[in-house]
Amino acid sequence: MRNTGELGAEQVEAAVAGAVAALRTAVDRDWAAVRAGRLEWSCRETATHVASDLLAYAGQLAGRATEAYVPFELALDEGTGNEGVLQVVRTTGALLAATVRSTPREVRAFHPYPFRDADRDGFAAMGVAEVLLHTHDMAAGLGVAYEPSAELCGYVLTRIFPHVRPAADAWRTLLWATGRGELPGRPPVDGWKWCNNLVVHAERLTLEGITPAAASDLALGGDGGFRWLEGGPIDGTREGAGLVVKAYEGGVHRPEWGMYALVRRTDGLTVGAMGFHGVPDEDGRVEVGYDLVEGARGHGYATEALRALSARALARPEVSRVFAVVEPDNHASRAVLGRAGFTRVARDDEYVAYELRG
């Protein structure tokens, strides 16, 4: 996978350029008098909203805001015409793109949906989504043609709509997922929120949720956008990433119960992966698996990560126990489970089963 900061910046720039080109064909209309599709806002209000969000996302990242939105807002000068509005959209888009490019991968800033922060890739995807969706709204009101590329739509879907089963037409999928259209065989969407990736903090590690985009890259032999300790990612990580992709394509992927990269705080290197095999079952049991790059073994990283991830899972009301199975001769992995507080509950010739109860 290419550097995600550069990729995200390019996507923001492409989305803004496409929107401006489409809307410029109706620049001679009275945008304040035309409603933006199904929205309550006028086209002018909607365009101003897009610019405001692009600026806000840039501000969140640049200011490293962690507790709330930075308390400022955008206001257009009195007498600004439609061409001026488009100039503001271009400018705020450029600010977000530049901020995404210059922000380190590990930085996260406040955003309420759904885990109260997002990384640079998340802010880029949210910015692209705002541009695509609200340009659609304005184009509908103004009667102009607009359809963004499948690549841009896929960029948004695989990063902040991981719970949405993809369809052949990425644009129609994004419109359906945001209550703006229909997809055959799927019920209408009345309410929606996008979903940024989750991070879980441990003492020396940050467990970073792996998006469908990153999982796909890992499964195909890439690095998933992470910097790995020498020797990684290993085969078990790639196999786990393939399972994430399969779940996403089947519409059953749920980020909290997915896969996490284990990122070492001291140097930002990824030392392994850990994750769940799916959502908790009807008995409240959720299964966990993990692996480490060889050079990271023997330092307690797996134990530390397992404790943190298990504690988060057991804090959820739908979880009563965390379950794991290992091969009998995998003594290192069995030791990890023991140090993390798991108890052996079953054994046969192929596997030993452990669980940790809340």
Give the CATH number, domain containing residue 341. Answer: 3.40.630.30
Same domain, 295 and 351: yes
Q: Residue 358: its pLDDT value, please?
A: 83
Amino acid at 125: A
In a domain, 182, yes or no: no
Q: Residue 4: its pLDDT value, please?
A: 63
Same domain, 158 and 29: yes
Same domain, 139 and 37: yes
Same domain, 203 and 340: yes
In a domain, 83, yes or no: yes
In a domain, 164, yes or no: yes
Same domain, 146 and 258: no
In a domain, 284, yes or no: yes
Three-class secondary structure assignment of 40-100: CCEHHHHHHHHHHHHHHHHHHHHCCCCCCCCCCCCCCCCCCCHHHHHHHHHHHHHHHHHHH
**pLDDT tens string for the chain (358 positions)?**
655 679 999 999 999 999 999 999 999 999 999 999 999 999 999 999 999 999 999 999 999 999 999 999 999 999 999 999 999 999 999 999 999 999 999 999 999 989 999 999 999 999 999 999 999 999 999 999 999 999 999 999 999 999 999 999 999 999 999 999 999 999 999 999 999 999 999 999 999 999 999 999 999 999 999 999 999 999 999 999 999 999 999 999 999 999 999 999 999 999 999 999 999 999 999 999 999 999 999 999 999 999 999 999 999 999 999 999 999 999 999 999 999 999 999 998 899 999 999 8
72 contacts 81 by C-beta, under 8 angstroms: no
Same domain, 139 and 207: no
The one-character DSSP state at 35 is B
298: left (phi over 0), alpha (psi -120 to 50) or beta: left
Same domain, 219 and 269: yes
* Domain housing 274: 199-357
Same domain, 162 and 35: yes
3-state secondary structure of 33: helix
In a domain, 235, yes or no: yes
Q: Residue 338: its pLDDT value, please?
A: 97
Same domain, 144 and 224: no
Same domain, 148 and 210: no
Greatest Cα pair distance, the chain, in angstroms, is 79
Domain count, the chain: 2
In a domain, 190, yes or no: no
3 backbone dihedrals φ, ψ, rounded to 5°: -50, 120
What is the distance between the alpha carbons of residues 138 and 38, in angstroms, rounded to a whole number? 9
Give the CATH number, domain containing residue 56. Answer: 1.20.120.450
In a domain, 268, yes or no: yes
In a domain, 188, yes or no: no
Q: Residue 349: its pLDDT value, please?
A: 84
Please give the model's pTM, rounded to 2 decimal places. Answer: 0.95
Same domain, 151 and 279: no
Domain boundary among 117, 146, 177: 177
